[in-house]
Amino acid sequence: MVDMQGFKERLASRISEGKQHGVTDDLMAEGIVNLTDIAVSFFSADKPEERLMKDLWEISTEEEKKMMSGLLLRYGKQALH
């Protein structure tokens, strides 16, 4: 089972570190897209929800991937407040 609160807090920590080093939200979102593109190629989707996320990512356009990455960034920022 994934600890979603722990994930959100780790994501917030990385966002905070990026901000301290002057990394913009756009650059962070671009990094999320790039890392996810790489991870999906190695990711074994054993559970139905993992398979769905992998399939959705693989059929997404670049614009859709940027949008999803922006949402993930916003999700992590919620833990900063």
Question: What digits encode the pLDDT tens for the residues 25-60?
Answer: 999 999 999 999 999 988 888 999 989 999 999 999
**In this structure, what token pair is assigned to residue 5?**
């609160």
- Average pLDDT of the chain, as a whole number: 92
pLDDT at 79 over 70: yes
Residue ranges of domains in the chain? 4-80
| pLDDT at residue 44, rounded to an integer | 86
> Under the phi-then-psi rule, with left for phi > 0, alpha for psi from -120 to 50, and beta for the rest, what region is 37?
alpha
pTM for the model? 0.83
Give CA angle at 64 (13, 28), nearest 5°: 25
